[in-house]
Amino acid sequence: MMIRGLILLILAGLSAPVLADSRMDAAPYAYVQLKDPAKERQAKELMATIRCLVCQGQSIADSDAEMAGDMRSLIRERIEKGEKPEAIRAWLVERYGDWVTYAPPTRGSSLVLWGLPLVLLMFGTGLAMSRIRRKAR
Amino acid sequence: MIAEIGLGLLWLAAGLAVLQSVLGGLALKLTHRPDLGGAIKPVAIAQGVLATCAFVVLVYLFMISDMSVKLVADNSHSEKPWLYKFSGSWGNHEGSMLLWVTILALSGGGIALLERRVRRDTLIATLMAQGLIALGFYAFLLFSSNPFARLNPAPSDGNGLNPLLQDPGLALHPPTLYLGYVGMSVAFSFAVGALLTKDVGPAFARAMRPWVLGAWVFLTLGITAGSYWAYYELGWGGWWFWDPVENASLMPWLAATALLHSVTVLATRDALRAWTIMLAVVAFSMSMIGTFLVRSGILTSVHAFAVDPQRGTFILALLLIYIGAALTLFALRVGTVREGATFEPVSREAALVLNNLFLTVILGVVLIGTLYPIVAQAMGQQISIGPPYFNPAAGSVALLLVVAMAAGPLMRWRRDGAGALMRRMALPLALGAVVMGLVRLMAPEISILSWLGLSAAALAAAGSLAPLWGRNLRRTPLFTWGMVVSHLGVAVALAGMATDTAFMKERLVAVSEGEAADVGPYSVRLVMVAPVIGPNWTALEATMEAQRGTSRPFTLKPQARNYSNPPTDTSEAAISTRWDGQLYAVLGKQNADGSWQLRLWWKPWVTLIWLGGGLIALGGVLSLLGRLWRERRGLGEATHA
Amino acid sequence: MRKLLLWVPLMVFALFAGVLLRGLIAPESGTISSKMVGKAVPDFTLPAAIASHPGLSSADLKSGKPVLLNIFASWCLPCATEAPILLELEKQGVEIHAIAIRDKPEDVVAFLRQHGDPYARIGSDVSSQVQISLGSSGVPESFVIDGKGIVRMQHLGDIRAEDVPKILAALKAAE
């Protein structure tokens, strides 16, 4: 029911934040960059690939939702402490499953994602080669 | 009364579509009755006229705000500006489907009236296929989405005053894409027609090409406009998200681009016959899958649409019937179509085959990446697929494609020498290598994809201009200009994407009034924040002064808007276009200490992305005009394409 | 062989059509359940949200007795609608702890005064950090946690009257 309500809100209001907002300020690092540009870049790259939980298909890097801000803050704080981006991603996946990352799993059936284009490329190359005239020599 | 006339016209047009299909079928069977085939042309023309009249009636109902018509009452309001009453007639599901079928019927009429290149029986078969496609959409309209349904009692005024939908971009965006989709349906009809009469050859390719070109121009414009809309509306400076709705518009474009090139090979060298037929079927099915994804809402998207699974079912049924039938026909008939001439390994046609191969692989990547979450869900997994998959998977192949694009036009048809090609490619290759080295030295921190993208853009820009080298520019055919401009557009857009990704500067900052913050080469000072009132919204508007060095400052006015009906908060980014990029500012919330949260971006050369898109489309237009000119068929078709 | 190859496009298309049909029957669901069910509650310590109740830490969830952990906020509408149900559960002897998300003390006090107070402890999570570590994606949400601090069940959205037996059964099974 809550979800249905969310969808109706979305339909009515395009890209506006969907949840009722709290009266609190944004989380410390939701809208504050890290001092070290290298670390900020790491954080930014990770945030762009983490899916916002309460939005319609947006990354947390592109969302004004409070929950997205809280997750950005969490990521920046952990990067600041020296944690590796992939460790943070794994930590989030442990909690929310593969849904939370825009990087699809590289195991099991999801390997199809990489395999099929390769097969297509090889199959297509073969097909094209068969059309190329053999050198008559 | 007027609405009933509209409905009557629609029924009549549907009746003519039935007649058109039956006549076509009979004419193909009973070859001793040429009068049957003779009758199909006037029927197709009449169908086009009737559908157009029905659409004009709908537009009229919107213009006079006839609230007794349900569609008008739901989607319009008597106080709307006239432009939005006008565009409101297709800014909804029923109206947009009527527009779809109207364009389709008009193109059928256009083919009947103007097409003289293909064999008579192929033309009849093509018109029959057009009639059948139109019939499906008439059925859709008449049985499940009647645009002329009445409302009793009529409300005093309509509901459709949603201010967010009153945007010139949103008024033009759907018809643009629809023109593209319908153009693909014409190519599809030609392919089916040629398969039925076993007439796959250069004449058929030349007849199909203008439609493919025209459709491709509209698809290009639609995607470019959609990307810019996302860029300014979503407020975070992103221009492509690999969102399902975006992918839905990209897939037909990829297929159409491949088709555009293979149809040239077929027209020039009478080769790739079966493959071109296949691509025409794929391109149309991508158009329908695109419509399906957008309308059914089976994937969540940031681009909001009024979705309805029931309509999705209908579109899926049409997709199954048309594409299933076409592919069955393909399997049965294509054996009789010889693939045609073979190629030399170094030749223009070999390069075009490479182009088709790469485009097909990219299409495969986008298609799998978009639909795989559904498959995963069926297996009990919830997964998301985004940039970390699409960027490397599609991007790496796209880079190869761009290099092939630079080399292709420098090759001769039939046979060319590898050494001669290398001499012609020397300058572009050298330029690409220089950029590659320079970027590596000066900006070692940027991502591999951006680095290669910049190098490939330099190579491709030089390579795309190279065909003009040593030519008399005045006597260069218009379609060669078209190719050059389109290819240059690809290089320009790629340069914009890579530069923005690599060198964009972001600044998130909390400032009080009077304070300044630096972003890239600019210093931005927050002068004040004050409330402003619009027609149906109130907003907080920030006045900012931006200055680069000691040059003249300019003003930016981003807003945080609050619409009352429906209650919605939006942020209106302020975007200032400079000669070398854009300054992008967003006003965020006020903090407890009274300071304001600002988001500032300096996006160097980002405008090249959409400039490139425009160039690609412009090249298509030049090419279309050049082809039509060359074939001395007059310019009549261009206005219908 | 070549004949067969010509049918490949149709077969591939049928496969895609099947995927689209499947998508139509079961559209992408927006509910993201926590993957912490079956795992231990992550370590955390939250300060008290209001003066009258103690704060909450992960140690409080390992008391040997199953508890209901309710994630709520005063600014969330469905939280108010589930309040009477929570009171009913408390009456039946369920120990309910709470985490207040992004909330100010005065707002929580006002919310409890208006809607009733079923909570033993209330931790304050001002930037949703503990909520995220639990894999929770919104308010309200509730977790059944057994005596050893293992998450046994997650309930997404507000608890309705019809959900009560399910919650009670989960609490019983967690003993």
In a domain, C149, yes or no: yes
Query: Is the predicted pLDDT of residue C142 greater than 60, yes or no?
Result: yes
Binary contact (A110, B376; C-beta < 8 A): yes
Query: Is residue B537 classed as helix, strand or coil in its secondary structure?
Result: strand
Query: Is residue B530 classed as helix, strand or coil in its secondary structure?
Result: strand
Q: DSSP of C66-93, one letter per residue? A: -EEEEEE-TT-HHHHHHHHHHHHHHHTT
Binary contact (B389, A112; C-beta < 8 A): no
Binary contact (C10, B327; C-beta < 8 A): yes
Average pLDDT, chain C: 93
Strand partners, C141: C71, C156
pLDDT for res A20:
61
Tokens of A1: 């029911």
Domains held by chain C: number: 1
In a domain, C95, yes or no: yes
In a domain, C12, yes or no: no
Residues 6+ apart with CB under 8 A from C165: none
- List, as own/partner pairs, every contact residues B475-481 make where C-beta atoms lie below 8 angstroms and the sequence separation is at least 24, other chains included: B477/B626, B477/B630, B478/B622, B478/B623, B478/B625, B478/B626, B478/B629, B478/B630, B479/B622, B479/B623, B479/B626, B479/B627, B479/B630, B480/B626, B481/B619, B481/B622, B481/B623, B481/B626
Q: Which residues of A36-71 are buried (b: 16+ CB within 10 A; e: fewer)?
A: eeebbbbbbebbbbbbbbbbbbbbbbbbbbbbbbbb
| Chains contacting C (3+ CB pairs below 8 angstroms) | A, B
Binary contact (B324, C6; C-beta < 8 A): no
Tokens of C37: 């069910």
B65 phi-psi bin (left φ>0, alpha ψ -120 to 50, beta other)? left
CA–CA min distance B284, chain A (Å): 20
Distance of CA B233 to the CA centre of its chain: 19
pLDDT for res B75:
85
Task: Write the pLDDT tens digit of every residue in B502-535.
Answer: 999 999 999 999 999 999 999 999 999 999 998 7
Roughly how many angstroms between the first and final C-alpha of chain C, as a whole number? 64
Residues 106-145 of B with CB under 8 A from A: none
Helix extents (H) in B89-201: 93-114, 120-144, 168-196
Average pLDDT over every residue of C96-119: 95
Binary contact (A70, C107; C-beta < 8 A): no
Query: Is residue B287 classed as helix, strand or coil in its secondary structure?
Result: helix
In a domain, C112, yes or no: yes
In a domain, C160, yes or no: yes
CA–CA min distance B383, chain A (Å): 4
Name the residue facing B234 among A11, A15, A110 (closest C-beta).
A15
Pairing of strands B596-604, B554-556: unpaired
d(CA A29, CA A70): 8
d(CA B346, CA B411): 8
Residues 6+ apart with CB under 8 A from C25: none
B304 residue type, one letter: A
d(CA B183, CA B260): 12
Tokens of B593: 């200490």
Task: Write the pLDDT tens digit of every residue in A29-56.
Answer: 999 999 999 999 999 999 999 999 988 7
Domain extent, residue C120, equals 45-173
CA–CA min distance A69, chain B (Å): 12
**pLDDT cut 70: percent of chain B above it:** 96
Query: Is the predicted pLDDT of residue B465 greater than 60, yes or no?
Result: yes
Residues 6+ apart with CB under 8 A from A87: none
Name the residue facing C137 among A21, A28, A53 (closest C-beta).
A53
pLDDT for res B63:
93
pLDDT for res A12:
35
CA–CA min distance C104, chain B (Å): 13
The position carrying tokens 């106080």 is: B79
Residues 6+ apart with CB under 8 A from C19: B371, B374, B375, B378
Average pLDDT over every residue of B148-171: 78
| Chains contacting B (3+ CB pairs below 8 angstroms) | A, C
Name the residue facing A20 among C33, C77, C134 (closest C-beta).
C77
pLDDT for res A13:
34
Reference B255, options B361, B368, B370; nearest CA is B361
Does B307 or C107 have the greater pLDDT score?
A: C107
CATH architecture, range A2-105: Orthogonal Bundle (1.10)
CA–CA min distance C23, chain B (Å): 6
Reference C75, options A20, A18, A17, A25; nearest CA is A20
CA–CA min distance C63, chain A (Å): 23
Binary contact (A70, C138; C-beta < 8 A): no
Name the residue facing C36 among A70, A73, A95 (closest C-beta).
A95
Task: Write the pLDDT tens digit of every residue in A61-107.
Answer: 998 889 999 999 999 999 999 999 999 999 999 999 999 999 999 88
Measured N-to-C along each axis, helices B348-378 and C8-25 cross at an angle, to the nearest 10 degrees, of 40
The helix, strand and coil proportions of chain A, stated in percent and rounded to the nearest 5, come to: 55, 5, 40
In a domain, C60, yes or no: yes
CA-based nearest residue in chain A for residue B350: A132
Reference B65, options B40, B44, B82, B52; nearest CA is B82
Spatial strand order in the sheet of B574-578: B505-511, B596-604, B581-590, B574-578
Tokens of A14: 């395009």
- Please indicate if any CB of chain A lies within 8 Å of the CB of C73: yes
In a domain, C164, yes or no: yes
Average pLDDT over every residue of B200-226: 93
Least reliable range by pLDDT among B29-33, B406-410, B436-440: B29-33
- Class of residue B599 by CB neighbours under 10 A (exposed 0-12, middle 13-18, buried 19+): buried
Query: Is residue B170 classed as helix, strand or coil in its secondary structure?
Result: helix
Task: Write the pLDDT tens digit of every residue in B289-343.
Answer: 988 888 887 777 776 566 677 788 888 999 999 999 999 999 998 888 776 777 8
Name the residue facing C24 among B296, B331, B335 (closest C-beta).
B296
Name the residue facing B334 among C6, C27, C28 (closest C-beta).
C6
State the CATH number of the domain containing residue C153: 3.40.30.10
Reference B343, options A123, A126, A129, A124; nearest CA is A129
